[in-house]
Amino acid sequence: MSLTAIPYNRAQTTGNILFATRGGKIHSFNLSDHQHISTWQHPDVEKYKSNSDSNQEPQNEIPQTTEPENISATEESEPPAKRQKTAEGDLNEEAAVAEPAGQGNAQNKGKGGKGKTKVKNDNHGDRSRMGRVVDRPLITLMTCTDDGNHLIAVSGHDKTVWVFEHDGEGQLTQLSQRAMPKRPSDITTGPGSQIIIADKFGDVYSIPLLMTPLSPSALALRTSTPKQSTTEPAANTFTVHSKRNLAALEHQRKQLEQEKSKGGKSKSEEPSFESNLLLGHVSMLTSLLVTETQGRKYILTADRDEHIRVSRYIPQAHIIEGFCLGHTEFISDMTIPLGTEDILVSGGGDEELFVWNWKEGRILSKTNLLSLVQEIAPQAGKVAVSALTSLVYPEDEGLTYVLAICEDVKAIFTWQLTTENELKNPGIIQLPCNPLHITIASSTSESIPKLIVAMDPGQNANVKSLHAYTLARTENRLSSDVEIPIHGQSSDGPEMQVSESEIRNMFYSVENLRKQGGGGEEGGADSVAEGTGEVDASPAPEAQ
């Protein structure tokens, strides 16, 4: 089996510094000379490396820096997901049992917390960006505070949020690590030094940027609060009917009895740090934004079930201002173009990108993305947007552009956002290999931005995984002919060498969000709520 190096998969810029993630490491680079500055690595990297050095097969169970939890084989803190039907086939082989109907997502912090999941040992888990369980340390999310003084990252295999202090020169100092109850699917920062976290089970939490342990009185209050009994599963034989779910229900009951007999600590306990549940969807959250307009702050959330919700910010995050409804396929990313307040661009599994007045929940325009993709990939019959971003080109009046990348498409697509809020003057920047993430670097408002692209070179050893491109504008279309090498991209050790199938399992997951119709054993009353991975426990749900 041929092996290849794990590529860079996330990029983030602040000032003249570029941070890029690769496996369980965060590298920093200087954007002036494109030289490597420093590297931080997850503590589990050394443990994984020890396995590789001793010529042992990597184990599914990664030693944790927080809780001794078997992540890839069992997730006791999360409700199991049923086998999802996707265009690529069955993503996982998990049986599903969940809470009974009527227990609200946002109100029930421990929803499905007593479930137990088995996953086949074939590296097929949940999604990487959306919470994929992988058998190695992997940084899945990363962002910076607006002032660039702090970097926040998420390691997917242990659901941990890491906060670093940044000295402004590319050096990081680790400040805290906090293991979340559910795996984060997106993360951003908000006013009041808050980290806002969306998870794949539809909840949005806030945690303080700078960690302060809970006081003894606060801890006592949490531990004394009555919790739902864990001696019986939330679902029962009256709400679960298929053979798979009945078997999972029996397995769950046995696991709960074992927990009780051992007197062990429940995995669904409240975290020992300050954490506030803000709001909840009934579907997997895929994108999260915090924005402000007319002096009021908002949280925008998008999910797999085609919804964009507009909620107020803390402390009124439970108040829903409205929805942006119009997508017919999953939404995978959103962006508020620079220089605008009330404009939102969203994309996902639809053939089009949507431009919204998000405050009014109104579609302003659409542009066909599939037709643009087919100019370089004529065989493409559908698209899956993996990232959206924007920039302001500084010449003349400062035109706003929106950029998109799609899974398995070797290009970056660009549009000018006109004053009529339409995406016009489409452009295509072709790439040597598939992009995994893009970000914009601009040291000043007057300078021409650089485009930073994290790519998957595959077996092409001549192509680096991290690229910088200078941008040009011709007839209001963006283009790029100059590629700037990012130096210091070493291949590290053998622990960073994986198969192509593992690369795809880790980083090619957006298309798997697409739902497939059909009945069979998984349809009907026992079908899983599409996105949460929960069994619909109501007696006779109506077909959607």
Rounded CA-CA distance 60/170 in Å is 33
Question: Does 68 fall in a domain?
Answer: no
Beta bridge partners of 472: 479
The tokens describing 507, both together, are 């980083």
Residue 336 pLDDT greater than 90, yes or no: yes
Is there a domain that residue 159 lies in?
Answer: yes
Q: Please write the tens of the pLDDT for every residue from 242-253.
A: 666 667 667 767
Residue 179: predicted pLDDT: 94
Radius of gyration of the chain from its Cα atoms, rounded to whole angstroms: 23
What does the pLDDT read at residue 362? Answer: 96
User: What's the rounded mean pLDDT across residues 402-424?
Assistant: 96
Give the mean model confidence (pLDDT) for residues 79-93.
39
Is the pLDDT at 360 greater than 80, yes or no?
Answer: yes
7-33 tens-digit pLDDT: 999 999 999 999 999 999 999 999 988
Residue type, 15: G
Confidence of residue 163 (pLDDT cuts 50, 70, 90): very high
- Give the mean pLDDT of 258-279: 68
Task: Calculate the alpha carbon distances from 321 to 266, 279, 345, 398 in Å.
Answer: 36, 13, 18, 31
Instruction: Please tell me the least confidently modeled range out of 261-265, 314-318, 463-467.
Output: 261-265
For residue 460, is it within any domain?
yes
> Comparing 181 with 516, which gets the higher pLDDT?
181
Confidence of residue 74 (pLDDT cuts 50, 70, 90): very low
What average pLDDT does the segment 307-321 reach?
A: 95
Give a yes or no: residue 257 inside a domain. Answer: no
pLDDT at residue number 211: 85
Please report the pLDDT score of residue 396 as a whole number: 62
Query: pLDDT exceeding 70 applies to what percent of the chain?
Result: 66
Strands 89-90 and 17-22: unpaired
Lowest-pLDDT choice from 37-41, 376-380, 458-462: 458-462
Q: d(Cα 438, Cα 509) in Å, to the nearest integer?
A: 16
CATH code of the domain in which 41 resides: 2.130.10.10
On the question of pLDDT at 59 being above 50, the answer is no
Residue 333 predicted with pLDDT over 60? yes
Q: Which residue has the tokens 């500055």?
A: 37
Please determine, for residue 427, whether its predicted confidence score (pLDDT) is greater than 90: yes
**In this structure, which amino acid lies at residue 300?**
L
How far is it, in rounded angstroms, from Cα 325 to Cα 307? 6
Instruction: Flag whether 79 is in a domain.
Output: no
- Report d(CA 233, CA 231) in Å as an integer: 7
How do 194-199 and 399-406 pair as beta strands? Answer: unpaired
Would residue 112 count as lying in a domain?
no
CB-hemisphere CA count at 13 Å for 106? 14
| pLDDT value at residue 462 | 79
Smallest Cα–Cα separation from 154: which of 225, 207, 116, 95? 207
Interval 438-447 mean pLDDT: 76
Q: Is residue 170 part of a domain?
A: yes
- pLDDT value of residue 259: 59
Domain residues for the domain of 397 are 3-50+134-213+270-513
Greater confidence (225 vs 426) lies with: 426
Q: In what order do the strands lie in the sheet with 352-357?
A: 331-335, 343-348, 352-357, 362-368
pLDDT band at 444 (very low <50, low <70, confident <90, very high): low
- The Cα 390–Cα 28 span in angstroms is 22
Instruction: Give the closest residue to 480 by CA, choosing from 453, 447, 445, 444.
Output: 453
Q: Is the pLDDT of residue 174 over 60?
A: yes
Cα gap 142→191, rounded to integer Å:
18
Give residue 459's pLDDT: 78
Q: What is the pLDDT of residue 97?
A: 33
How is 425-472 classified by DSSP, letter by letter?
Answer: EEEEEE-SSEEEEEEEE-SSTTSPPEEEEEEE-TT-TTS-SEEEEEEE
Q: Which two tokens stand for residue 53?
A: 């050095």
User: Is residue 461 situated within a structural domain?
Assistant: yes
Look at residues 191, 410, 143, 151 and name the one whose alpha carbon lies nearest to residue 287: 143
Structure tokens at 515: 């739902």
* Per-residue pLDDT at 52 exceeds 60: no
Structure tokens at 481: 């002919």
**Mean pLDDT for the chain overall:** 77
pLDDT tops 70 at residue 448: yes
| Ramachandran region, residue 3 (left: φ > 0; alpha: ψ -120 to 50; beta: rest) | beta
Average pLDDT over residues 472-476: 87
Q: Which residues of 257-266 are buried (b: 16+ CB within 10 A; e: fewer)?
A: eebeeeeeee
Domains in the chain, number: 1
Pairing of strands 25-30, 36-41: antiparallel
What is the rounded CA–CA span in Å between residue 187 and residue 325? 23
Beta bridge partners of 206: 196, 276
Across 98-112, 125-139, 404-418, least confident range: 98-112
